[in-house]
């Protein structure tokens, strides 16, 4: 049998060309994918989690198509400075100083948190999860190779990539982001360390460590630490080869991070690194990008427990994942309680229909074209991983299933096919968490709670405060909290 990737050929929007292209991997049947991982100096917020969940969907679908995938996602545990222009303190060293801890205690704490959150969101672990501190030798070797080409220079114990020298020798800095050299040069800012650079567009490959800096390694240029961009070039090519298939990350990493990676890769290997560069779009909160630095964040854990003032209730991680899957990975997604409530409804409807479908019988007929439907589901996913369109097709099946009484009007063979494909799409690819009966219980609980909330509201209208309080207190004892808001009363467990 032909592999699914031949039946449903994949098209990917490539940020490098700005085009949607037929995916053609370096090695037939195999995919090497590198995704920039988190800088582990604080809890991952929901925005970070969205990017990693988007790539989990991509990872899952690639595997489902029959590719053998090596997915490398790093942990940044050194070198990411507070400012992208190579200035400010190392984020991890700063947190360690503020908390009087070892940097590796910070790294451990937030790596564990990251894994926990991604596990809750149903994300599979990557095949390799390398760290920047574990690849210092590789980064020094690359820095030396770029110096040997005269595309880098040493300045006061630091080494910078020489963007002009690279471009004058045929390099194409700006190829990914579309930025022009004159714009970059005009963007000069009087930041600390900038005077060491020949050109404001140059970027650090290696930074000299000040005497107080704890994270330091010996190098041919003195004690220091690697620049942030270099780790990803070093680790992606080490594990995936000079030319590999997919490089991903959040949209905000396109420039300067990925632009710099491409220049480093070109300098060392003559390849861009990946053939396909993919960028996941941002999660916004109140219309602004969710970002640690502005404090405009919600943590996944707060969402799962309902413990954030901006939330009207708790949401199950599977609902949160579904909320993310309802948007295309390349679209901006705005967080709101209303959107989460709508996602919860859709999510539960999808799972409730699965309960029916699982037990349904076929009464024969052609009430639903299962093969055409299946082709549309795969077609959506093979068209640049279009999960919202996939979900729309799943709801066509939900409609058919829910409308059928006394058996589905399809053949027994089609029923089997429908069950199998529905299950694959919902549980394997979208990876909603499949304790199907939970959602049926949840529906029943929602209905019972609506009734109790209504009875309490009536008691309050009748000024029967003792009954109203009794209801609230007894529910509290049972672990159910009521929350009165302008839109009415909601509950959380
Ligand atoms: P960091 O730990 O800051 O390096 O970020 C980890 C990943 O999260 C990167 O791929 C970022 O692009 C991504 N990211 C950061 N903020 C957001 C956001 N608001 N929405 C989606 N992804 C984000
Ligand atoms: Zn990276």
For residue 290, the ligand 1 atom closest to its alpha carbon is: 19
Domain match, 358 and 298 both: yes
Domain match, 270 and 364 both: no
What lies within 8 Å, CB to CB, of 453 at 6+ separation is 482, 488, 489, 491
The Cβ-side half-sphere exposure at 68, using a 13 Å CA radius, reads: 6
Domain match, 264 and 309 both: no
Lookup: tokens for 340: 């989460």
Q: What is the pLDDT of residue 436?
A: 45
Nearest ligand to the C-alpha atom of residue 91: 1
The parent domain of residue 374 ranges over 284-438
With tokens 């009954």, the residue in question is 467
Domain match, 289 and 266 both: no
Domain match, 181 and 317 both: no
Domain match, 373 and 272 both: no
Domain match, 447 and 428 both: no
Domain match, 246 and 111 both: yes
Domain match, 183 and 232 both: yes
Q: What is the pLDDT of residue 441?
A: 67
Say what the pTM is.
0.88
DSSP 221: T
Lookup: tokens for 84: 């992208």
CB distance 46 to ligand 1 below 6 Å: no
Digit-coded pLDDT (tens) for 303-312: 999 999 999 9
Domain match, 27 and 94 both: yes
CA distance 243 to 176: 16
CA-closest residue to ligand 1 atom 14: 48
Substitution site in 38, 48, 114 for ligand 1 pocket (most atoms within 8 Å of beta carbon): 48
**Residue 54, CA distances (Å) to 170, 281, 409 in order:** 35, 9, 36
Which one of 228, 261, 280 terminates a domain?
Answer: 280
What is the 46 CA–ligand 2 centroid distance (Å)? 19
Where are the alpha helices (H) located in 18-162, listed in sequence order?
A: 46-64, 91-99, 103-120, 136-148
pLDDT band at 217 (very low <50, low <70, confident <90, very high): very high
The CATH number given to whatever domain includes residue 148 is 3.40.50.620
Q: How many domains would you assign to the chain?
A: 3
Digit-coded pLDDT (tens) for 402-444: 998 889 999 999 999 999 999 999 999 999 996 544 555 667 7
What spatial distance separates the first Cα and last Cα of the chain, rounded to whole Å?
Answer: 48
What is the 389 CA–ligand 1 centroid distance (Å)? 25
Digit-coded pLDDT (tens) for 316-374: 999 999 999 999 999 999 999 999 999 999 999 999 999 999 999 999 999 999 999 99
Q: What is the pLDDT of residue 8?
A: 98
Domain match, 376 and 410 both: yes
Of all helices (H) and strands (E), which one includes residue 226? Answer: strand 224-226
Which of the pair, 449 or 135, is modelled with greater confidence? 135
Domain match, 97 and 129 both: yes
Residue 140 contacts residue 219 (beta carbons within 8 Å): yes
CB distance 252 to ligand 1 below 6 Å: yes
């Amino acid at each position: 049998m032909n592999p699914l990737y031949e039946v449903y050929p994949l098209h990917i929007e490539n940020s490098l060309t700005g085009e949607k292209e037929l995916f053609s991997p370096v090695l037939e049947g195999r995919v090497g994918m590198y995704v920039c991982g988190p800088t582990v100096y604080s809890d991952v917020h929901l925005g970070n989690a969205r990017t990693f969940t988007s790539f989990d969907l991509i990872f899952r679908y690639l595997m489902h198509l029959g590719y053998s995938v090596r997915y490398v996602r790093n942990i940044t545990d050194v070198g990411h400075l507070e400012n992208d222009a190579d200035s400010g303190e190392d984020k991890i060293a700063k947190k360690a100083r503020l908390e009087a801890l070892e940097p590796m205690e910070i790294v451990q704490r937030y790596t564990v948190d990251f894994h926990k959150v991604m596990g809750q969101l149903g994300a599979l672990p990557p095949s390799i999860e390398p760290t920047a501190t574990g690849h210092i030798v590789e980064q020094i070797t690359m820095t030396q190779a770029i110096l040997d080409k005269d595309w880098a220079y040493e300045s006061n114990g630091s080494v910078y990539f020489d963007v002009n020298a690279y471009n004058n020798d045929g390099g194409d800095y700006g190829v990914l982001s579309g930025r022009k050299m004159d714009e970059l040069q005009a963007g000069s800012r009087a930041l600390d360390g900038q005077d060491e650079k020949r050109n404001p567009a140059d970027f650090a490959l290696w930074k000299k460590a000040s005497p107080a800096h704890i994270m330091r390694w010996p190098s041919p240029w003195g004690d220091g630490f690697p620049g942030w961009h270099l780790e990803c070039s070093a680790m992606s090519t080490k594990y995936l080869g000079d030319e590999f298939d997919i490089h991903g990350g959040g949209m905000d990493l396109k420039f300067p991070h990925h632009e710099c990676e491409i220049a480093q890769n070109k300098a060392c290997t003559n390849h861009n690194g990946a053939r396909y560069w993919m960028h996941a779009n941002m999660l916004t909160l109140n219309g602004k990008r969710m970002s640690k630095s502005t404090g405009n964040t919600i943590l996944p854990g707060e969402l799962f427990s309902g413990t954030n003032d901006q939330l009207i209730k708790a949401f199950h991680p599977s609902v949160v994942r579904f909320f993310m899957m309802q948007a295309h990975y390349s679209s901006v997604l705005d967080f709101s309680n209303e959107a989460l409530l709508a996602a919860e409804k859709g999510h539960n409807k999808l799972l409730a229909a699965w309960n029916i479908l699982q037990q349904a019988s076929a009464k024969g007929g052609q009430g639903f074209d299962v093969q055409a439907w299946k082709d549309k589901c795969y077609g959506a996913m093979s068209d640049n991983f279009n999960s919202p369109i996939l979900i729309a097709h799943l709801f066509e099946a939900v409609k058919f299933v829910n409308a059928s009484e006394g058996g589905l009007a399809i053949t027994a063979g089609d029923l089997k096919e429908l069950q199998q494909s529905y299950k694959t799409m919902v549980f394997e690819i979208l990876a909603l968490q499949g304790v199907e009966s939970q959602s049926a219980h949840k529906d029943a609980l929602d209905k019972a709670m609506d009734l109790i909330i209504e009875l309490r509201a009536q008691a309050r209208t009748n000024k029967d405060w003792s009954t109203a309080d009794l209801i609230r207190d007894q529910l509290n004892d049972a672990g159910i909290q009521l929350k009165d808001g302008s839109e009415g009363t909601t509950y959380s467990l």
